[in-house]
Amino acid sequence: MDARSLRGLAHPLRMDILEALTLDGPATSTRLAERLGENTGTVSWHLRHLAQHGFIEEERDRGTKRERWWRAVKDRMVLNTSEFRHDPATRGALQVYMHELVQQQFGRVTGYLAEDWEPQWQDVGTISDWRDLRLTPAQLRSLNDELMGVVARYTETEEASAGTDPDALPVIVQLQSFPRKERRKRDTA
């Protein structure tokens, strides 16, 4: 993702729209407005903005001139925050984007916890953290690469992409790993 794309996406409603289209599939501005509790005109404006930046596209073979359907572009987005962190022109957009991203992830977790699940799904999800790791930057990068490799193996299977198993449901994997400054070092700084 480049600076222009980041600024185009870094808005709470645009991020909500993109998440809805990514997770739930194509929709019209009317359906998205109802789902997100927003005005249809506002959602339409943000849809066009997302399309200008290449995050979504119109489904031209569906709907009418009056009822336009939109879908998320399948390209994988990669944001290297180090490219933007020290640039004053993009720092604000990066902060908005990261804040909204964390809010979306938090919302997914609380939604999962609040929903009733059939017995076979009740105890298979996890919210875990490990607090006793002490790693170097290289070790943390290696850990993240290995964990992403595990998720990629499940993403790339024929069964996962075909979605043919009647017991299969969409699954979200959220991984958060980052260094933490020790309290005693922060207090003396």
pLDDT tens-digit map of 66-95: 889 999 998 777 788 888 888 888 888 899
Q: How many CB atoms lie within 10 A of CB 160?
A: 14
Contacts for 20 with CB less than 8 Å, ≥ 6 apart: 27, 32, 35, 36
* Exposed e or buried b per residue across 105-124, where buried means at least 16 C-beta atoms within 10 angstroms of its C-beta: eeeeeeeeeeeeeeeeeeee
Q: What is the percent of the chain with per-residue pLDDT over 70, rounded to a whole number?
A: 92
Calpha distance 60→91 (Å, rounded): 36
Interval 164-178: pLDDT, tens: 678 888 888 888 877
The fold adopted by the segment(s) 1-115 is: Arc Repressor Mutant, subunit A (1.10.10)
Q: Which two tokens stand for residue 91?
A: 């720092």
Residue-wise pLDDT for 114-159, tens only, equals: 899 888 888 888 888 888 899 999 999 999 999 999 998 888 766 5
Of the candidates 115, 111, 21, the residue with the CA atom closest to the CA atom of residue 69: 21
CB distance 57 to 73 below 8 Å: yes
Cα 1 to Cα 78: distance, rounded to the nearest angstrom: 6
Confidence of residue 187 (pLDDT cuts 50, 70, 90): low
**30 contacts: CB under 8 Å, gap ≥ 6:** 40, 67
Q: What pLDDT does 82 receive?
A: 82
CATH 1.10.10.10, the chain: domain bounds: 1-115
Span 3-30, mean pLDDT?
A: 93
Which residue from 22, 107, 10 is spatially nearest to 56, judged by alpha carbons? 22
